[in-house]
Structure 1
Amino acid sequence: MSKRASLTHDSPALELELPLLAPQERSQRRRSGSGTIPLCIMHDTGKPSPTNTKPTSPTIPPTQQAARPQSPAAAADPADDEDETDVIGDLMGHYGKWQLLMTVLLSLFQVPNTFHISSSVYQAANKDFWCQRPPQLQQMPVDVWRNLSGSTDNCHRRDGIDWSRLSNETTSQWELPQDGNGKLVACENWEYETHDNVGNTWTSEWDLVCDKEHLKQVAEMFFLLGVATGGIISGYLSDKFGRKTMLFISAVLQTIFGLWLYICSSFELYLTLRALLGLVSVSVTYSGLILAIEYVDGKWRTIAGMYNLFPLPISYMIISGLAYLTQDYQRLQLCIGLPGIFLCFLWFVVPESPRWLLVKGRIDEVRRIIEAAAKFNGRQLPADYQLTPPTQESSSQDFTYLFRSSYLRRISICFLCIWFTMNLVYYGIILNMSSFGGNVYLNSALAGLVEIPAIALAMYIITKVGKKWLFCATLICAGVACCCAAITEGRADLLWLKITFLMMGKFTISAGNTIMPVYTAELYPTPIRNVGVGACNVAAGLALILTPYLSLLNKIEDHLLMTLLTAWSIFGGVVVLFLPETAVRSKASNSTPGQGSAPHPNASAAKQV
């Protein structure tokens, strides 16, 4: 392959070919030597990277926020890593001991995020309850009390009965007094099962039963509403104020809100704090991920962004153990809020993104970071190296650009459906573990365990082959697994088989969740990648808001929840078939420019920040 001319940051302009049209149309325009779009050395947005693309949330979702390569070809061919390098990476090393240490430290911020988004599985767990017994009947068996009080639904009891005439000592046959009028009145207070391995939850703390049962879903929804809102605005704030600044401001607020929830006794205030916690948690995820992938260069951007996901499954397993040991929503909240205190001290260790600083013209700070990183990596710096802030240009792309051509309309509609589907199914499984039967602690730990090989396998495969058919297979297989779990629903003797199918579904949907952000970034053109992924965030946020209410489907019909997840998974897999495959550029085509067309004179690789 002929050596491409690399451009320095003081170059006046650069033209990059961008896939604004369908792949077939682009190839024709390349052969004719037209169809290039002038860009400055930086992105048209003036922001520091291909890595400044808005990733999605939560809890939240973090599993959707992998590094974004510049083009399908750049991501597919390791020989083209040079396309993605810049002067900062050339000076301090594209990936070394310094980058490894920093990115590992930043991945730790995913731990409290995962704790908070999955805590509702245990804190909002259902409990067995019944109308409160009179003080003198506390020793009466619960089943007898339910029959005696006529409380078949545990929400109403017989009215007009003088319960003081009964006592544990004087009544032996628990006969119903004859002065009742047969009417039922709503219970005012309830008692809860204490030996259910669930402990004190939102249900028992605020009597979220009967006509107030829906408030549990509201509490979960408030957190996810904050995540959805934060996913839209966190990218702008991170670009404006800096990755490190936003990361640690959000981490401090996350810690404050998390510990405040521990001492909160008002349910209304609890809802507000949950929403604020979701808002800052997604900002922690976004800023930490972008900071991590802006520390590295070349192909390491994608890899660093994806191994940032590994703390998620480990955190799922840890919180299941903490919930089992505490069995109290307040003590669990204290345990998941405390780690944020220690992470805040990383302010003195983690530097700002040198690429963001260079865009802002803060050259002295960039030099200090480069010199420290190069020394840690054992690299010698040139004595006279120069750093020039890149020229910034304004960008006017908006949501309408996603529908300007048939190619963009197709991938935009497809990705809106896919991101909604992926979030609905992924979090529909995670956040409803307590509804599937069996031991909720064991089920959640297993769900985290199977995600580790899923992420690792997906990371390996997508660097070797195209993503379309693999992505489609993960969704279809998840749908098949959910369908099999639905078939076994309601059969206690097949509970082990149902859980097995659920874990298979969790494995495949986790692999798909790893592929999705990378695939999305590769198909969107560089100038509108922020807009495209931002629109996908909206669809993902809508799915997150709906997720807490999925558990109510089982109250309508036992098979309804798993049937719905099955339908959406298969729908998502079918939609993937309408997407183009990512290009895998052959080395032969790069090394033989004379076969059919000459290389475009401006097709040289840009050393971008």
Structure 2
Amino acid sequence: MCYWVPQIANQDMGAAFLTPDLAHTCRLPPDAASAASNDTRSQCSYNATTTNGSTEERPCLQWDFDDSTFTNTITSEFSLVCGRSYLRAAFKSVYYLGGFFGAMLNGWLSDRFGRKTMLAVGSVIFTIMSNILPWLPSINIMLFFRFVMGMMQPTSIHAGYILAMEVNEPKYRTAVGVLIFLPYALTVIVLGGYGYLLRDWRWLSVTTSLPCLLFLPMLLVLDESPRWLIVRGRHDDALRVLQKAARWNKAQLPPEEELRALMDHIRKEALAATKKSDASTSGLVRSLKNIMEDVIVLVRTRRMRSITLSFYALFFVLGMVYYGLSFGADKLGVDPFVYMAVSGVMEVPSGTLTIPLAEKMGRRASSTLFLVVTAGPLLVLGFIPTALEWLVVTLAMLGRLAITVAFQIVYLYASEIFPTEVRVRGLGTCTMMATVGAMLAPFIWEILGSIKSWVPLFVFGVAAFVASVTTFWLPETRTAPMLDTVASLEASHSRVKEARAAPLDREMADKSIKETDAQQA
């Protein structure tokens, strides 16, 4: 997984080098009298002399592109300017649209067919398509490939992540969970320098896709999750995997009879849970129906609805701002290669700052703080001249660092605040909202960035500030027990509310709240 994550990063963030916003001018045909008078329109139209001697404005069909930064891009090769400029944003967004549907189906696919199977399927399809994409003759076919590759990203990454978590001891899970995605940040750093060396989009795409082939042989020696095998009743296969792991780790397993008895017990519990949940894995149609039922559960009661909608707003803004800042170099007028490399650098400290800050300040205060810190520099950037490139990059990266820290804290916050019975569905639908925000980010740059380069940043800054306000409706979870049911969440909120509204002095009210928390613990 630590090898596969960088390949995902190349396709995820590398799109910034493939479809940049390039300076361009209309290439005048022989019948052109002159370029259109308006500077903006001169890029997209020209004045042509008609047969009767008059002039008329006609749309431009060919352009000359600025090749001082990139020698060849998808933008210049397929003329994605003027009336086709929306395809630049579509090239980035369609990847996240595929990820939206991939995230929706990933849980059902992994539970039905296995973690290793879906990791293999996703990796193989992603590898094949990423190596074919640079040679496609049509931008429309490219968009289809990007959509399918986007679907394969959560299919492979999430299945692999679950597999890694399920085969690790509890004491190693935190370290493994963090280290798996650390190569993502390192790859973004390297991608900045790599893009500087290879200015042609096709060679950049090919050379970053070929390493995917090296990952495929690893799938042949990878074992399926023994937990999944046990739940599915494949006890012989699970026993084989456990015995292999014991040999590698020089560990002693319990007697085979004891292991089989434990497997039978787990299998019976899984069958009982499946029957109780009305066979939630019986088919794709039922799985989609369960998704709708899951969303209804998250908004059915008053307190649960307040928490769910607050997190939906937070994740939507986090996805929009995070990816908006990732793709903004061409509109900000800064060196795109430096911008990409520094963006990766900002990913590294955010992973180390998150835990101590969340522990010291609490989840609500720290997430609010970093959303406000995100908003500050983005709002100020509108008043900074682009000639001060170092200051533009510094403020943009400060916002990038803050939104990355906020993203990690809010994800932790959500995992603690959603009750156990809706935790997975709560986080899953929140992730889908973040994907929607990521899909919108390139269009915000494309549409609003054509007005002024600082307008999208202003929108991102305002959105981050508004998101910080939504945390006021969320309870602190730093020292609170994790609740198991929606009913216990509602009951807890009612008791706390009654304690604060009671005609007691402040000291008695605080004592009542502490007693309620102690009872929950």
TM over 0.5: yes
Residue 163 of structure 2 corresponds to residue 291 of structure 1: yes
> Amino acid of the residue matched to residue 477 of structure 1?
V
Provide Cα deviations, 1:556-576, integer angstroms capped at 9, x if missing partner: 234311111111111111112
8 A contact 1:465–1:584 mirrored in 2: no
8 A contact 2:33–2:47 mirrored in 1: no
8 A contact 2:9–2:188 mirrored in 1: yes
Match of 1:190 among 63, 74, 79: 63
> Hey, what's the Cα distance between the residues in 1 that align with 2:65 and 2:405?
40
Report the equivalent of 2:150. 278
Report the equivalent of 1:526. 420
8 A contact 1:459–1:514 mirrored in 2: no
> Amino acid of the residue matched to residue 443 of structure 1?
Y
Structure number, greater radius of gyration = 1
Comparing 457-466 and 530-539, the one that deviates more: 457-466
Report the equivalent of 2:505. none
* 1:316-465 alignment, distance < 5 Å: 316-383=188-255, 385-386=258-259, 387-389=262-264, 390=266, 391-392=269-270, 393-394=273-274, 395=277, 398-462=294-358
Match of 2:402 among 489, 503, 508: 508
* 1:117-128 alignment, distance < 5 Å: 117-128=12-23
8 A contact 1:107–1:288 mirrored in 2: no
> Hey, what's the Cα distance between the residues in 1 that align with 2:360 and 2:454?
39
Report the equivalent of 1:467. 363
Provide Cα deviations, 1:85-125, integer angstroms capped at 9, x if missing partner: xxxxxxxxxxxxxxxxxxxxx12221111111112211001
> Amino acid of the residue matched to residue 479 of structure 1?
A
Offset, 1:481: 2.0
**DSSP 3-state at the match of 2:64:** strand
CA distance 1:121–1:257, shift in 2 (3 Å): same
Offset, 1:182: 3.6
8 A contact 1:112–1:340 mirrored in 2: yes
Comparing 559-568 and 296-305, the one that deviates more: 296-305
CA distance 1:146–1:355, shift in 2 (3 Å): farther
What is the alpha-carbon root mean square deviation over aligned residues? 2.8
> Hey, what's the Cα distance between the residues in 2 that align with 1:409 and 1:148?
57
**DSSP 3-state at the match of 2:212:** helix
> Hey, what's the Cα distance between the residues in 2 that align with 1:311 and 1:482?
27
Match of 2:78 among 195, 206, 229: 206
Q: Which runs of 5+ in 1 are unaligned?
A: 1-105, 136-144, 163-178, 587-594, 604-609
Match of 2:49 among 148, 160, 174: 160
Offset, 1:276: 0.8
> Hey, what's the Cα distance between the residues in 2 that align with 1:561 and 1:583?
34
Offset, 1:355: 1.3
**DSSP 3-state at the match of 1:130:** strand
8 A contact 1:485–1:562 mirrored in 2: yes
8 A contact 1:485–1:498 mirrored in 2: yes
Q: Which structure ranks higher in relative contact order (CA pairs < 8 Å, sequence separation ≥ 6)? A: 1
Report the equivalent of 2:492. none
Report the equivalent of 2:507. none
Provide Cα deviations, 1:2-28, integer angstroms capped at 9, x if missing partner: xxxxxxxxxxxxxxxxxxxxxxxxxxx
Offset, 1:332: 1.5
Report the equivalent of 2:485. none
> Amino acid of the residue matched to residue 234 of structure 1?
N
Report the equivalent of 1:108. 3
8 A contact 1:130–1:146 mirrored in 2: no
8 A contact 2:320–2:439 mirrored in 1: no
Kindly tell me the number of residue pairs found equivalent between the two proteins. Answer: 461
**DSSP 3-state at the match of 1:324:** helix
Offset, 1:465: 6.3
> Hey, what's the Cα distance between the residues in 1 that align with 2:197 and 2:430?
38
8 A contact 1:317–1:444 mirrored in 2: yes
Report the equivalent of 1:307. 179
* 1:161-180 alignment, distance < 5 Å: none
Quick check: which one's helix share is greater? 2
8 A contact 2:386–2:392 mirrored in 1: no
8 A contact 1:482–1:505 mirrored in 2: yes
Report the equivalent of 2:383. 487
Per the normalisation by structure 2, the TM-score is: 0.82
Provide Cα deviations, 1:388-440, integer angstroms capped at 9, x if missing partner: 24112132663221123333122111111111011011111012222222100
> Hey, what's the Cα distance between the residues in 1 that align with 2:338 and 2:173?
35
8 A contact 1:468–1:580 mirrored in 2: yes
> Amino acid of the residue matched to residue 22 of structure 2?
K
Offset, 1:541: 2.6
Offset, 1:184: 2.6
8 A contact 1:255–1:341 mirrored in 2: yes
> Hey, what's the Cα distance between the residues in 1 that align with 2:360 and 2:160?
27
Residue 123 of structure 2 corresponds to residue 251 of structure 1: yes
Offset, 1:286: 1.1
CA distance 1:310–1:414, shift in 2 (3 Å): same
Q: Which runs of 5+ in 2 are unaligned?
A: 279-292, 482-513
8 A contact 1:472–1:574 mirrored in 2: yes
> Hey, what's the Cα distance between the residues in 2 that align with 1:441 and 1:550?
22
> Hey, what's the Cα distance between the residues in 2 that align with 1:477 and 1:151?
40
Offset, 1:464: 6.4
8 A contact 1:402–1:412 mirrored in 2: yes
